[in-house]
A and B are shown apart, each in its own frame.
Chain A
Amino acid sequence: MEFSMKPAQLKIKYLTPGVAVLILLAFNGFVFLALRFLYGLGYVTNLDLQHPWGIWIAIDVASGVALAAGGFTSAALGHIIYKEDYKIILRPALLTAMLGYTFVAFAVFIDLGRYYYIWHPLIYWNGTSPLFEVGMCVMIYATVLYIEFLPVVAERFIGKVNFKGIFSFLNKPVDSLLRTLNRGLRKTMFIFIIAGVVLSTLHQSSLGTLMVIAGEKMHPLWQTPILPLLFLLSAIAVGFPMVIFESLIAARSFKLKPEMEVLSGLGRMVGPLLGIYLAFKIGDMAIRGTYVYLTEVNTQSVMFMIEVIVGVIIPLRMFFSEKVLRSKLWLFVASTLVIIGVLLNRINDFLVAYSPPYAFQSYFPSIGEISVTIGFISVLVLLYRAFVMIFPVISLPDKKLITQAKYAVRGGAK
């Protein structure tokens, strides 16, 4: 690398037309959310006695957790395997994971019939329940992510704490608090980083255990005792594509030059990881003989084929091609396919495969459910944008060059 990269706050304008659209979408979601709290789940969702879980669980929670896997895979790569070259992806991945998990927790909250009892698992334990384990791990992991982010906050504000007016007396104590925390964390951070990776492997896999108990209600194409392993492997495989996907989008919308060298390096690891996932998926299918279900043409078999071919096999082939790894566009396409693949897998696992025995009608999400999900994603993007402006998250080549570089790229794009 020619210049040393250093995380810095982005100096960009917050409000753009795209941002305005996101705000509208978020507001729309908020309206339906308000109705849910006023009149109950039945009022805004299409859930019924046969279909207790909908897209709020399948997309917001299950896919949310999977797609936030970039946080722990990059922590494993950057901190534990200790590859210095990938340092610049650590903070963006951490931020995504932190925001992602916050939203997963929030999605669980709104989906709970008795949301105000969300803390009950802390005191009423049920060790046989995989949901209990997922809940606890997610709770602890989210806390760990916040702790991991603290040094970034400290870096931003140490020496710059500046409350105005009557709060100005707080300046000194807050500053010294940040300093103490930062000093303490510098020595102990490794504990949290390792804990984060362990917790992730645990709940990523237990999320797969969730549907195992549904037994015969699950279509055999997905129902397998190794579901937890498949969930873990696919989460690991989707981690780096997610980082690549975000970096490329961020680079585009913040008008920066993407670090292609780093991204290609990440991409090079995706192929083998996807390969392992595919091997287990196909191997499991061969052992259990479930390929016979592929000869029937129905929603399940078609969705399975799309999931595996579009979401795994095609990107697998792409990630092994040097041309793809070097091209911004193709790398983006391949990463997007992996993400779609995992998203589809989670939707398939929680919704498509689930065929309740006495369904009078099948489940399709309501406008309200879709609005809330889209609203969530919008707020997530909005917060991400705000965070990279407030905190030094995204690495820029040399601090003094920031403003110049911005104009240089802008000019070049014309």
Chain B
Amino acid sequence: MATQNRRDFLKTATFLSASALSIPTTHAKASEPEALNENRMGVLVDTTVCIGCRNCEAACKEAHNLPMETSFNINNRDIFKLKRRPDETSLTVVNEYPNPKNKLLPTDVKVQCMHCDHPACVSACIVGAFTKHKNGAVTWDGSKCIGCRYCMVACPFQIPAFEYNKAIQPRIMKCDFCFERQSENKLPACVEICPTEALTFGKRKDLLEIARDRIKRRPERYINYIYGEHEVGGTSWLYLAGQKFSNLDFPVLGTEPAPGVTESIQHGIFAYFIPPIALYALLGGVMWINRRKNSEEEK
């Protein structure tokens, strides 16, 4: 017991000194938002096709080496009694909702990071730990993150999860669009395993075409709305549904990019540093005049 503690302490201490010394040599510049790539990828989720088999949950866990609790069983449909959210051990979850059109065919909704086109998390992160990649994926860089959790405050979909129970190196956990698999030219794990093709992987612009086409051909099956097309400036993941999205716990959001207001405020304050410098000069002037007045009075 004592040796165990001691070893832990040593481990922590070594780690702390190591991380304090390892000041990276590459000075990161302010992350300029790259222009959105026209061919960025996305996934179209058709909630009218999803059967709630939760194979995607399992595949995602496996692809990311996440713990599969012994209670984890994709055949257990009782789990749908509760609404779940992605968390630090499950980057995606499926929830089930009643279907007003057909009682026997409930609506299942897979939830994960939406990979926004103008991500609030990227804009907000104090150290720029998030990146919006050319292929549409929004990923997190653990070597920069300081664990302030501002990304969680900022995300309009409340996606980033934090490992609260880790004392050292807690991570921000969220779907990374299987960035590594994609760079090996593999499909995202969830898309690959989906038995019903409820998930379609492709270029975002093509997915929008497909979605519009499906709505046109089966107007009785779908409501005429593609969730994610315009929400907070558009997202890489898109959804189709047979009922109102607000009934399926999708947040009702505007079409303005989430970081828009903040960024214009920041740019207003810091436009070429003119406002702060002007204020400095003004105060300096006031100070000089008042001091001189004062010393003249004393004379």
Write the residues of chain A forming the contact surface with B, with a CB cutoff of 8 angstroms.
Answer: 37-43, 45, 47-50, 52-53, 76, 79-82, 84, 108, 111-118, 120-121, 123-133, 135, 190, 193-195, 197-198, 201-202, 205-206, 209-217, 225, 228, 354, 356-358
Contact = CB atoms under 8 A, between A and B. Distances in A.
A303 to B, nearest CB: 19
Interface string B256-268: 0011011101100
B161 A113 contact: no
Interface residues of B, number: 71
A213 B276 contact: no
B46 to A, nearest CB: 23
B25 to A, nearest CB: 9
Given A82-B294, A129-B150, A124 B19 contact: no
Contact of A214 (B29, B83, B154): B154
Q: Which of A38, A81, A112, A197 has the most CB of B within 10 A?
A: A112
In the A-B complex, the 9 residue pairs with the closest CB atoms: A113-B147, A42-B164, A126-B128, A52-B152, A52-B149, A82-B290, A124-B127, A114-B147, A127-B30
A356 B253 CA distance: 13
A217 B159 CA distance: 13
A129 B259 CA distance: 9
B283 A216 contact: no
Contact of A113 (B83, B146, B266): B146
B248 interface: no
Contact of A80 (B33, B286, B293): B286
Q: Which of B83, B128, B129, B145 has the most CB of A within 10 A?
A: B128
A54 B252 CA distance: 25
Contact of A354 (B28, B125, B153, B266): B153
Nearest to B129: A124
Contacts, number: 204
Given A131-B124, A190-B287, A216 B251 contact: yes
B127 A225 contact: no
Contacts of A38: 167
Contact of A358 (B28, B158, B162): B158
A40 B166 contact: yes
Contacts of B62: none
Nearest to B275: A202
Interface string B75-93: 0000000010101100000
B269 A202 contact: yes
Contacts of A225: 261, 265
28 contacts: A37-B167, A40-B167, A45-B164, A47-B164, A49-B85, A52-B150, A53-B149, A80-B283, A82-B291, A113-B162, A113-B170, A116-B20, A121-B126, A127-B270, A128-B124, A129-B128, A130-B266, A131-B148, A190-B284, A197-B283, A206-B269, A210-B150, A213-B124, A214-B153, A214-B154, A216-B253, A358-B83, A358-B249
